[in-house]
Copies of this chain bind each other. A is one copy, B any other.
């Protein structure tokens, strides 16, 4: 259907983890990016540390798509264990390049695939002494070969190599030598470049390549988070690593050496939740990054924060469930849990960033919402967003921004006010009471508890007093809908009876599918929801269409379930499109699912 043509094809590098190929693949992708050509990178890695198959996919997309294609056209096969699979998965007309130091005639089995054998190991073993560099240089060599075959700009490669090894300059010639080995061999033995290849453009101006966890860590620093607690878990770990790294650089007082932040590695997720709630109750802007298992473990504490009205930001970088599931594969499988986490009547706020740009923006937003509504806020990302490099507009920060700390009474306010302070009283009639921080004033003292309490903050076991408070909590939650980021709607160029709804990382693939659907004669409007509770726009969008496809990355149609329960939508209109194999969503999946559904309906 599309590709492979100039600046429109997908490269897949198949290697073994722990062999240093990651940086070579990064080099490959950045080279294309620096050539001004939009790229999409996806890292499919195993849940171990060394020795298992790993794949890196680079989509070259002059059209500037942000999601996966679904087809693969150029495979760099460095892992004999997966040769068969790698060969099988190439699209017709594709090319497979492999390390022919140990020839594999069986790779010739596909007539519709061109196989390019390059004796990478042999060349490197000949060229280099140390075992270590023999392994590492093999990676640079395949970059070189790819450069020749795909017409990459070797000057750009050289610049990048220089940047990479700025610290150890003597490694630069060594690495360039390896690149040359592959490059020259390819030039000498095959017609280069291939018919599908790169060609410089200027479409990456003002863009950066960044992963969502790094962007979120940066966002929490810029948003003024002062406290972070966490327990390591893939794929959330790199979020806290980023926050830590940036705080170490920008948050240490040059004069006193004091830290303007505190990060604590908890003993588990229950403790991480407690740490954040304790710190937030005591005035810090606090967050904790985790993944599904962590949300399960934090459930009790989340209900405490909800009922006690303590601000709390929880980042759930979703991975494949249930249970331990597939820790390095992506899904959107905690949507329903995060909406209602904990026992009893509980409901929360959720932000759905769709790419690293929004991770940066929503991190601060999450802190603001948590403090404004004094309640847990979920920052719901996933492995695809969090751990892959995405091409996004350069991050910028609005200098006029100041953190929204919500309704916090100062000592002055407490001591000069005529009226007595009661923690859970709806003074302003907006469902949000005033809070005080420990140490402020005797007049502001109150007792935080997860047990029944009156609107005055006193312990109670009386039904009406209990209801006063939980009814307000519902009202507070409902009103929060208008404070969530508005949905993003992309209308078809002509009136459409079909609609599509999605959240988070599905966005890129759905956007592309929408374009191709219209091109294929199926115009559909698309609404990307960005927050929960849903605003009226969501009801209106569904109302306005005959059929609405709900695209999400889980088995049980969790987003669809929320739409059915929390909007006026007629559920008969909603058609589930569920992808849950663990790989990032591709436009082809969405396209085919919708096309099939439409056919079925036409017939019916």
Chain B residue contacts of A306, Cβ below 8 A: 322-323
Cβ of A93 within 8 Å of any chain B Cβ, yes or no, is: no
Stretch among A108-116, A244-252, A448-456, A508-516 lining the B interface: A448-456
Return the contact of A466 from the options B304, B308, B582 (Cβ within 8 A): B582
Return the contact of A303 from the options B323, B329, B347, B583 (Cβ within 8 A): B323
Q: Are B300 and A450 in contact (CB under 8 A)?
A: no
Return the contact of A321 from the options B303, B308, B334 (Cβ within 8 A): B303
Cβ of A343 within 8 Å of any chain B Cβ, yes or no, is: yes
CA distance A347 to B337 in the complex (A): 12
CA distance A345 to B292 in the complex (A): 11
Return the contact of A461 from the options B47, B304, B346 (Cβ within 8 A): B47
Of residues 568 through 604 on chain A, the ones whose CB sits less than 8 Å from some CB of chain B are 570-571, 580-583
State the number of copies, please.
2
CA distance A84 to B47 in the complex (A): 66
Contact with B along A321-339 (1 / 0, CB 8 A): 1111111110101101100
Q: Are B296 and A555 in contact (CB under 8 A)?
A: no
Return the contact of A320 from the options B452, B580, B583 (Cβ within 8 A): B452
Return the contact of A343 from the options B321, B463, B571, B581 (Cβ within 8 A): B321
Cβ of A541 within 8 Å of any chain B Cβ, yes or no, is: no
Chain B residue contacts of A564, Cβ below 8 A: 564-565, 571
CB distance from A538 to the nearest CB of B (A): 16
Cβ of A293 within 8 Å of any chain B Cβ, yes or no, is: yes
A560, closest chain B residue (CB): B565
* Contact A451/B342 with A555-B471, A565-B561 known, Cβ cut-off 8 Å: no
Return the contact of A293 from the options B292, B296, B343, B581 (Cβ within 8 A): B343
A337, closest chain B residue (CB): B343
CA distance A558 to B347 in the complex (A): 12
Q: Are A322 and B334 in contact (CB under 8 A)?
A: no
Contact with B along A343-370 (1 / 0, CB 8 A): 1111100000000000000000000000
A471, closest chain B residue (CB): B555
CA distance A458 to B184 in the complex (A): 44
Most chain B beta-carbon contacts within 10 A, residue among A297, A450, A461? A461
CB distance from A552 to the nearest CB of B (A): 11
Q: Are A555 and B466 in contact (CB under 8 A)?
A: no
- In the A-B complex, list the 4 residue pairs whose CB atoms are closest, starting with the nearest: A321-B344, A463-B581, A323-B450, A292-B343
Given contacts A293-B300, A322-B343, A322-B470, 10 further A-B contacts (CB under 8 A): A296-B299, A297-B300, A304-B323, A320-B466, A321-B342, A322-B450, A323-B342, A324-B451, A463-B581, A571-B571
Q: Footprint of B on A, CB under 8 Å?
A: 46-47, 292-293, 295-297, 299-300, 303-304, 306-308, 320-329, 331, 333-334, 336-337, 340, 342-347, 449-452, 460-461, 463-464, 466-467, 470-471, 474, 554-556, 558, 561, 564-565, 570-571, 580-583
